[in-house]
Amino acid sequence: MQQILDNIAAQMALETDRGKVADYIPQLAHIDPNQFGIAVATPDGQMYTAGNASTLFSIQSISKVFTLTIGLGKLGDGLWTHVGREPSGDPFNSIVMLEHETGRPRNPFINAGAIAVVDAIMMGHEPKEILGEILQFVHFITDDESIRFDHKVAASEMEHKDRNASLAYFMKSFGRLKHDVDKVLGTYFHQCSIAMNCQQLASAGLYLVSNGVDKHSGVRVINEHRARRINSLMMMCGHYDGSGEFAYRVGLPGKSGVGGGILTIAPGKGSIAVWSPGLDHIGNSKLGLKALEMFVQETGWSVFAQ
């Protein structure tokens, strides 16, 4: 495994076409695209890393996996009255389908869906309380209390909130959001601003590798059926309108973020986190996808093969 990762990192270092760093969040615009990290955590407690695997980055939309888990834990199947579970085939910040579907977003991973999940888990509580809960959850699944929000990134998104605010007000106009829009957005932006490195992120994914059980502590994070369904959603919707391509090239559930990270789950085998800040035209890490494609070719890990 170590050799496979070293080889991938060496290959990625040679790549010249590295994509474009997200600049619609000004705090992310200055990140050096010449970075690449990969980490693999396995349920027997091993951790393999290569490249910039201990450099912190903004997990952005990958956080939507964690809030979905919290949402399913709190509301159970009731969560599906707030958000759907169909791939959108549209960009992550698209508004078009919301009108046809009366303000109920297609899935929890597009921005509108993640905003609806935040609203659903707030249940009358203040952003501070919900953010405490989200961070506590991340600390628990990583067994690492050093993980923090990046308040500068959250503030930068709040300053440039126009698109997400439009999505939120549009949903609110259909009576879909219960809380104050700025409070929901503030919570959502902080959730997205969580800074993690590849090792921490790979470790965070282990509960989805092991049928919902946190292997560090043996504690169940979520029931087996829900863990399986979160993986299904990651496969179908985790890369927005690039989800088909990801399933075709990688064949594992994955969730990307505009910070350039991708969390990928190989059920029963391991959790893989890759990070490279340059994005493709859809907003997914360009080298991240390439590296994962190499990784599955080398390891044979796939949900479609034994």
Q: Which residues bind ligand DON (CB under 6 A)?
A: 60-61, 92-93, 111, 157, 164, 192, 256-258, 283-284
Q: Sheet containing 47-51: give its strands across.
A: 47-51, 37-41, 270-275, 261-266, 254-256
Asked if 148 contacts 191 with a C-beta cutoff of 8 angstroms, the reply is no
Phi and psi at residue 200, to the nearest 5°? -65, -40
176 vs 255 by CB, closer to ligand DON: 255
213 vs 234 by CB, closer to ligand DON: 234
Closest CA to 61 of 28, 35, 96: 28
Asked if 92 contacts 256 with a C-beta cutoff of 8 angstroms, the reply is no
Q: How far is the CB of 161 from ligand DON (least distance, A)?
A: 9
Residue identified by tokens 């990290």 is 37
104 vs 190 by CB, closer to ligand DON: 190
Q: How far is the CB of 192 from ligand DON (least distance, A)?
A: 4
Dist CA 168 CA 185 (whole Å): 8
Q: Taking CB positions, which residue lies at the least distance from ligand DON?
A: 61
12 vs 192 by CB, closer to ligand DON: 192
Q: How far is the CB of 232 from ligand DON (least distance, A)?
A: 19
Pairing of strands 57-58, 270-275: unpaired
Q: How far is the CB of 198 from ligand DON (least distance, A)?
A: 16
CA angle (98 as vertex; 97, 103 as ends), nearest 5 = 155
Q: How far is the CB of 24 from ligand DON (least distance, A)?
A: 7
Q: Which two tokens stand for residue 222?
A: 């979520």
142 vs 164 by CB, closer to ligand DON: 164
Dist CA 29 CA 70 (whole Å): 30
Q: How far is the CB of 127 from ligand DON (least distance, A)?
A: 15
Pairing of strands 270-275, 254-256: unpaired
143 vs 293 by CB, closer to ligand DON: 293
What is the 8-class DSSP label of residue 84? -
Annotated binding site: 61, 111, 157, 164, 188, 240, 258
Q: How far is the CB of 274 from ligand DON (least distance, A)?
A: 13
211 vs 243 by CB, closer to ligand DON: 243
Annotated binding site for substrate: 61, 111, 157, 164, 188, 240, 258
Closest CA to 209 of 252, 256, 247, 246: 252
Rg (CA), the chain: 18
The contacts of residue 3 (CB under 8 Å, 6+ apart) are none
Asked if 41 contacts 204 with a C-beta cutoff of 8 angstroms, the reply is no
Helices vs. strands in the chain: H and E counts, helices first: 13, 7
